[in-house]
Amino acid sequence: MNFSKDFEDRISSSQKVLLVGAGGDFDIISCLPLYYKLAAEGKELTMVNFSNLQLEELAEVTEAQVILKDRLFMVGSNMKVALEHYPSGMASRWFEETYQEQVPFYLIMKQSVASMTECYEKIIEKTGADTILFCGFGMRTLMKGDEEGCGDMLHSTMNLSAAKYVEGVEKLLVTFGIEKGVSFNSAMENISTLTQYKGYLGVSHFSQNDAEFHYMKHCYDFIAGQGHHERSLLIESIMLGIVGKIGMNNGYRVTPLMSHIHYFDLQSVAMANKVAPMIDHVQEYQEIVQQGMSVIKGGNKSRKFDLIQL
């Protein structure tokens, strides 16, 4: 796996990196290729994920270490019960069972954007991180919210907004493949705009021959192989595209574009998001959902016909 030159230039001086699932939950698996490659370069890495779990569910599944009450926890491989959807804990167990590594994960719970920013600041205080690196499957993180087919982008918007207010660190974003429900045309239009403002850092190709691909696939297969755990059609479709398959996979169109890795300046992507200003200062999570989704649903229905000015 090779980075784009512009991304390589930005990440080369980083020493302590937070690897963050851009949209939470299964997006944490997209951090694994970066974990493999950056660890080999001697960088100190910390895994961070936005969690959809309720506090009661977290208490049921594991003895989590409280970092900030009800807001930020650290979890490992130990589980008291099996949950249908717990990719962070299962990935930690994969590290332990496959490599005998103890890899804890910070979990940021559902809360306000301002409170999430405090969580990132606390993690940086504890780890000394100099870089926040978001990773995600598909392109919903690039969506602004007003375009046709912006997809389910609320949690990635909250996450971007929280990181936007963190100061004194490098901030980067990496996306893998494309996804159902997000307009490819809208994504390309947004990449073009980001290119004009130097927020796009290039593209590279993810090959089935890359050790990083097999590392990620092994972890996903471990999780999906647990009879109780939910699978991800998005991840499976992207992996099919990487190995050269083409066609439909349960509603997902598998194409060679699944193997593309795009790199961005995170701050530029966050500043372009048009939903963020509506939720940045809302204090209650449920109100964020109501206000954010009212805009996002409208964006998913809208159509735009813009002339390119030469």
Q: Quick count: other Cβ atoms within 10 Å of Cβ 69?
A: 7
CA 176/CA 21 separation, integer angstroms: 12
Reported as a single tens digit per residue, the pLDDT across 131-155 is 999 999 999 999 888 877 776 788 9
Q: Please, what is the angle between helix 32-40 and helix 211-224, to 10°?
A: 140
Cα distances (Å, whole numbers) of residue 227 to 12, 20, 83, 222, 269: 40, 26, 11, 10, 37
Alpha helix (H) ranges present in 62-147?
87-99, 113-127
> If you average pLDDT over residues 205-216, what whole number do you get?
98
Domain boundaries, the chain: 5-231+257-301
> If you average pLDDT over residues 165-180, what whole number do you get?
95
Closest listed residue to residue 169, CA positions, set 205, 213, 133? 133
Percentage of residues in the chain having pLDDT higher than 90: 78
What local confidence, expressed as pLDDT, does residue 142 receive?
A: 93
Tell me the pLDDT band of 310, cut-offs 50, 70 and 90.
very low
> If you average pLDDT over residues 208-216, what whole number do you get?
98
What local confidence, expressed as pLDDT, does residue 307 receive?
A: 36
> If you average pLDDT over residues 92-106, what whole number do you get?
97
How much is the mean pLDDT over the chain? 92
Phi-psi sector, 149: left (phi>0), alpha (psi -120 to 50), beta: left
What local confidence, expressed as pLDDT, does residue 306 receive?
A: 41
**Residue 19, SS3 per DSSP:** strand
Reported as a single tens digit per residue, the pLDDT across 25-38 is 999 999 999 999 99
What local confidence, expressed as pLDDT, does residue 308 receive?
A: 36
pTM above 0.75, yes or no: yes
What local confidence, expressed as pLDDT, does residue 48 receive?
A: 98
> If you average pLDDT over residues 118-140, what whole number do you get?
97
- For 118-142, b/e burial (b = at least 16 CB within 10 A) is bbbbbbbeebebbbbbbbbbbbbbb
Structural contact between residues 258 and 180, judged by C-beta atoms closer than 8 angstroms:
no
Structural contact between residues 228 and 82, judged by C-beta atoms closer than 8 angstroms:
yes
What local confidence, expressed as pLDDT, does residue 303 receive?
A: 43
Reported as a single tens digit per residue, the pLDDT across 60-84 is 999 999 999 999 999 999 999 988 8
Q: Is the pLDDT of residue 302 over 50?
A: no
What local confidence, expressed as pLDDT, does residue 152 receive?
A: 76
Structure tokens that stand for 87 in this block: 């990719």
Tell me the pLDDT band of 44, cut-offs 50, 70 and 90.
very high
Q: Quick count: other Cβ atoms within 10 Å of Cβ 212?
A: 19
Report the length, in residues, of the chain: 310
CA 207/CA 241 separation, integer angstroms: 10
Closest listed residue to residue 73, CA positions, set 87, 60, 83, 58? 58
